[in-house]
């Protein structure tokens, strides 16, 4: 009878340890998954800031110079497309779609800035310089937000794939995630350059 009691205690202790392991693994994975979502929201916030600043830049340019309408139209179309795509669900497809739209907006803005080079009085205008500074800051924010997002995904994926947490992750439905990846042959995403 005594050995049955000891065996029962041992089985109970093992079950208790397994339950504690599952609970702590689950909580740790949830925390890391929420960090990934938070960092993705930071990326979207930086994208929104870029999207909001571009019309001001266009208006300053329009007011100061007689610009080619095609350049301004391209920016308006790229901004519209970038504004329509918001990735509410964090999937690789949504991340890639939003990144492509933002890269198109950055490329169109770069084209506008290249045309501005022909207008020294515009480059010297205080409103343009202020917007230029804000856009440069926004580009840095985007760069760091993307880096922080990839770091959060790396931390999450490390937990999901590491033993013994991978056992709990598999049982509880946590899967590895994808971060920003450059296109084939590209060193980095398009950035607005002044």
For residue 168, being part of any structural domain is answered with yes
Residue 189 lies in a domain: no
Share of the chain above pLDDT 90, in %: 29
- Domain with 87, as residue range(s), is 2-172
Please list, residue by residue across 82-96, b when 16 or more beta carbons sit within 10 angstroms of its beta carbon and e when fewer do: beeeebeebeeeebe
Lowest mean per-residue pLDDT among 76-80, 88-92, 168-172, 186-190: 186-190
pLDDT at 189 over 80: no
CATH code assigned at 47: 1.20.1440.20
Supply the pTM of this predicted model: 0.73
- What 165-170 contacts at long range (C-beta under 8 Å, 24+ apart), as own/partner pairs, is 165/25, 165/28, 165/29, 168/21, 168/22, 168/25, 168/26, 168/29, 169/25, 169/29
Q: How far apart are CA 47 and CA 125, in angstroms?
A: 25
For helices 165-172 and 126-161, what crossing angle results, to 10°? 100
- 188 domain residue, yes or no: no
Closest among 91, 105, 95, 85 to 192, alpha carbons compared = 105
Give the per-residue pLDDT at 127: 75
| Lowest-pLDDT choice from 21-25, 131-135, 144-148 | 131-135
Query: pLDDT confidence of 60, banded at 50, 70, 90?
Result: confident
- Whether residue 104 is contained in a domain is answered as yes
How confident is the model at residue 121, as a pLDDT? 67
- In tens, the pLDDT along 104-118 reads 888 888 777 777 777
- As a whole number, mean pLDDT of residues 77-89 equals 74
User: Does residue 167 belong to any structural domain of this protein?
Assistant: yes
Distance CA 32, CA 35 (A): 5
Angle at 160 between CA 158 and CA 166, to 5 degrees: 120
Instruction: Evaluate if residue 55 carries a pLDDT over 90.
Output: no
Structure tokens at 2: 């005594």
Q: Give per-residue burial for 158-177: e unless 16+ CB within 10 Å, then b.
A: ebbeeeebeebbeeeebeeb
Question: Across 54-63, 74-83, 134-143, 174-183, which has the greatest mean pLDDT?
Answer: 134-143
> In this structure, is residue 80 part of a structural domain?
yes
Residue 165 lies in a domain: yes
Q: How far apart are CA 159 and CA 117, in angstroms?
A: 49
Q: What tokens were used for 99?
A: 């990144």
Tell me, yes or no, whether 192 lies in a domain.
Answer: no
The string of pLDDT tens digits covering residues 20-30 is 999 999 999 99
Work out the pLDDT band at 14, boundaries 50, 70, 90: very high
Counted domains in the chain? 1
What average pLDDT does the structure give for the chain? 81
Q: Could you tell me the two tokens for 125? A: 């205008």
Alpha carbon distance 79, 124 (integer Å): 25
């Amino acid at each position: 009878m005594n050995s049955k009691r000891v065996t029962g205690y041992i089985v109970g202790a093992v079950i208790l340890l397994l339950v504690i392991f599952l609970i702590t693994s689950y909580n740790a994975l949830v925390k890391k998954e929420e960090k990934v979502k938070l960092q993705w929201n930071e990326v979207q916030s930086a994208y929104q800031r870029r999207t909001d600043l571009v019309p001001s830049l266009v208006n300053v340019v329009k007011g100061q110079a007689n610009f080619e309408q095609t350049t301004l139209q391209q920016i308006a179309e790229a901004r519209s497309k970038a504004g329509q795509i918001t990735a509410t669900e964090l999937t690789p497809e949504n991340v890639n779609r939003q990144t492509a739209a933002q890269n198109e907006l950055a490329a169109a803005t770069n084209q506008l800035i290249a045309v501005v080079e022909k207008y020294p009085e515009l480059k010297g205008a205080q409103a343009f310089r202020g917007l230029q500074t804000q856009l440069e800051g926004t580009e840095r924010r985007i760069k760091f937000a993307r880096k922080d997002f990839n770091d959060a995904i790396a931390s999450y994926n490390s937990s999901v794939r590491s033993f013994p947490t991978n056992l709990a992750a598999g049982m509880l439905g946590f899967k590895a995630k994808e971060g920003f990846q450059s296109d084939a042959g590209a060193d980095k995403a398009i950035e607005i350059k002044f």
